[in-house]
Structure 1
Amino acid sequence: MCTSRALAASWFVAYSAVLPLTQLAWGLSGREAGLIQSGFHLGYLTSLLIVGFITDHFGARRAWLATGVFAWASPFVFVFFADGFWSAFWLHALTGLCQGGSYTPVLALINDHVERERRARAMGYLIAASSAGYAVCLGVAGLALKFTDWRGALAAVALMPLVAWILGLAAMQGTANRVHPRPAGEPMLAAVPAVLRNRNGMLSVWGYTFHNWELLGLWAWLPAFLTAAVMASGAAAGEAAALALSLSALTYVANIAGSIAGGTMADRWGRTQSILLWSCLSLVLSFSIGWLIALPVALLVALACLYNFAGIADSATHSTVLAESVPAHYLGVAYAVRSVIGFGAGVISPVAFGWALDLAGGGRTSADPFAWGIAWATLGVGGLLGPVATWKLQRALRR
């Protein structure tokens, strides 16, 4: 299932992989480029809300298999028909709307089939698989751009979710489909207020929300940031974009290590302690990396690797904490509520980043440290409350 998840997740950063090229081809501002990525996140959070209810009602295995068909079919629609800001915005939102089934049901499957002592590490491997998929996407797109244009590169990436669904179908042949029954007479929608009243669960949700603000903004804009840095060293736009994708793929390899290390640390030394460590380190990098764009590219990529490592190291732990804070019969809805709030932040942060970049005079390919410093700082400002929510959760769990 981790291999399947890796291939399914490849589409999540597909647009970011070609963002500099589509921005030039379509004459997009930084705000418009960010809006297209936000359209995907908006569709994705909507799908997570829907899939959460489907998972609780029909079981995680059935939910994954049924929704997976839409997850692999929709990217091809974007590849063939996106041709400007509005078509790209709506079609990328459609692909996001079809992706939720590749995530929430798998989290529920882990919660059903993995004991608590190994659960955070198992979640870490799943998140690591997602990061591997992001790296594979950027690597495949970067290689494809040497032979074709941005549309051909996206077509190559679009094949991977199809392979993911086939692999998942084979992997789950012997997996039981569990449906956790609700209390007698309790309507399905009653789970929503129950989640909202769960103090520990909601503290976990808020910590995840501010974490998502940083992480999704980072993923949306890192390839463009590295492209600007490479172009500042004298490379042409196409060459810089291809090299930046390869370098960005390297930073996603750091994500793999971060996910596994964070989950393992949470199992050994505590959930909230692990979250606090990595979220604070990520904040430091959010407030500093943009100002350092003039560094040698190799050193800048090393910082980006550390940023990705720290930014994702607490992801698996956030998912584990929520699973351990709510009853199993509305876990899917709990993930859905978290997704609406958390990915809602992810919808806004890439737009806020692009808007700040435009206002600071960064434009599309500028390597001005002031513009990029201000833009990256928007992620840090949004992420500041994450450690506060986690600290409150830590105090609540100690009572």
Structure 2
Amino acid sequence: MIFGEMKQNRWFALCVIGISVFFSLSLWFSASVITSQLKVIWNVTPLTEAWLSASIPTGFVIGAFISAYFGIADRFNVRKLFALSALLGALFNFLIIFSDQAIFGIALRILTGITLAGVYPPAIKLIAQWFPKQRGIATGIIIAALTLGTALPHLITILIPTTNNILVLAVSSMLSIIAAAMIFILLKDAPVSSKRTPFSMGMLVQVFRNKPVMLANYGYFGHMWELYAMWTWLPVFLTASFTKSSSEPWMGTLVSFLSIGVAGGIGCILGGIVADKIGRSNLTVIAMAISAFCAIGIGMVFGHLLWLTIVLALIWGMAVIADSAQFSVAVSEFAEVEYVGTALTFQMCIGFLITIVSINIIPMFQRWVGWEWVFVLLSIGPILGIVSMIKFKSFERDAKVKVRKTAQ
């Protein structure tokens, strides 16, 4: 009886969804953190090494577009869709253990990315169903869970008492299976169903004509140029930096988890709280300015001043994700209801396509300019994003004035 009442509680639902996102998103970087071993097993080239990380966002874009185009999350039970996707993702991720060629491993990673498009967006929809009002903090917690989950494989590599870190794949797959079971068994269907906001190619014209929506999109694109490339290559940078300074290599892995996962999770929640107080545009401008500064500055301490390297990594990890949710919220506030689904799908797909480019160019430029300067490339995204969000600010201000006049 008590458990049945708990299942009716939205905060219990938030807890189940958050833990499930945390566990299942460990699939995202589960192969990236063991690249050194996969290089030996698959005879990885620099090109295939980059695609090892870019394959997940590639699959995610494919999955998100297919799901949105056919309205899968609207036609099927979203809770069961989450559970099935997490289960399939665990299967594809686990099969990588038995792959002896890069092409098969990358194909499985793409399939894993497709399944993750059935995890994260449905999780946001579940939150919308359980929290029809005051969903800001709930959404922030889910994005924090996503952030912490993507960093979890770095911690797993430290905790596994073996030199065979390929077991990270097995552990992350098991966690995703647990996530599927939790969503399917512990979570009941939400008492309130969210309205359907379908994707439509024909509605893209309306999205392009909506200036504040496109300004928010441009800000998001700049944010995404930096985010996943930073998440992918900061651990490699830290390991190389600590090794150069004769420190223990595992320290780089630990700092990676703390900066991407812990600091990032805190940044998600604080970002949502601060955005409600100072405005979305102001929060995004501040966060992108800090992250751009860290992208430029962290290379200058490569191989020395380890304390400053750690401080910059933690600040960067917090700032780089603090504004993530605000771009989607901004689009949902300024897009008309009949094409908000199209606008959000467009934003997500283009954003993740951009990450594929930035993830792949970092290793190429690193060979030319070294770790000392390569992250300067990532600062271009937030700098351009700042320009867009400063322009967006006038629309945000006008909207607030209009709301005040209506209230009077």
TM range (shorter): 0.7 to 0.9
| CA–CA distance in structure 2, aligned partners of residues 329 and 107 of structure 1 | 19
8 Å CA contact retained: 2:59, 2:114:
yes
Partner residue in 2 for 1:326: 335
| CA drift at 1:257 | 0.8
2:348 partner letter: S
Gaps of 5+ in 2: 1-16, 399-408
| CA–CA distance in structure 2, aligned partners of residues 191 and 109 of structure 1 | 25
3-state SS of paired residue (2:138):
helix
3-state SS of paired residue (2:334):
coil
- Worse-superposed segment, 121-130 or 11-20: 11-20
Asked whether 1:232 is paired with 2:232, we answer no
Specify whether residues 84 and 354 from structure 1 end up closer, same or farther in structure 2 by C-alpha distance, changes over 3 A only: farther
Specify whether residues 90 and 66 from structure 1 end up closer, same or farther in structure 2 by C-alpha distance, changes over 3 A only: closer
Within-5 A mapping of 1:376-387 = 376-387=375-386
Within-5 A mapping of 1:1-399 = 1-23=17-39, 26-52=42-68, 53-58=71-76, 60-61=78-79, 63-81=81-99, 83-114=100-131, 118-144=134-160, 146-176=161-191, 178=193, 180=195, 188-234=200-246, 240=249, 242-251=250-259, 252-328=261-337, 330-360=339-369, 371-399=370-398
TM-align CA RMSD: 2.5
Q: Which has the higher contact order (CA 8 A, sep 6+)?
A: 1
3-state SS of paired residue (2:374):
helix
| CA–CA distance in structure 1, aligned partners of residues 340 and 77 of structure 2 | 11
8 Å CA contact retained: 1:5, 1:133:
yes
Specify whether residues 300 and 156 from structure 1 end up closer, same or farther in structure 2 by C-alpha distance, changes over 3 A only: same
Partner residue in 2 for 1:363: none
| CA–CA distance in structure 1, aligned partners of residues 137 and 299 of structure 2 | 32
8 Å CA contact retained: 1:272, 1:391:
yes
| CA–CA distance in structure 2, aligned partners of residues 78 and 191 of structure 1 | 39
Q: Percent identity?
A: 26
Gaps of 5+ in 1: 361-370
- Worse-superposed segment, 17-26 or 32-41: 17-26
8 Å CA contact retained: 2:152, 2:257:
yes
1:249 partner letter: F
1:182-206 Cα shifts (integer Å, max 9, x gaps): 7xxx995444444344332222222
| CA–CA distance in structure 2, aligned partners of residues 91 and 247 of structure 1 | 29
TM-score (norm. length: structure 1)? 0.86
1:93-118 Cα shifts (integer Å, max 9, x gaps): 221122101111222333344355x3
Kindly tell me the number of residue pairs found equivalent between the two proteins: 379
| CA–CA distance in structure 1, aligned partners of residues 95 and 293 of structure 2 | 39
TM-score (norm. length: structure 2)? 0.85
1:143-195 Cα shifts (integer Å, max 9, x gaps): 22x4141322222222111111111223431414736357xxx9954444443
Specify whether residues 194 and 166 from structure 1 end up closer, same or farther in structure 2 by C-alpha distance, changes over 3 A only: farther
1:169 partner letter: F
3-state SS of paired residue (1:101):
coil
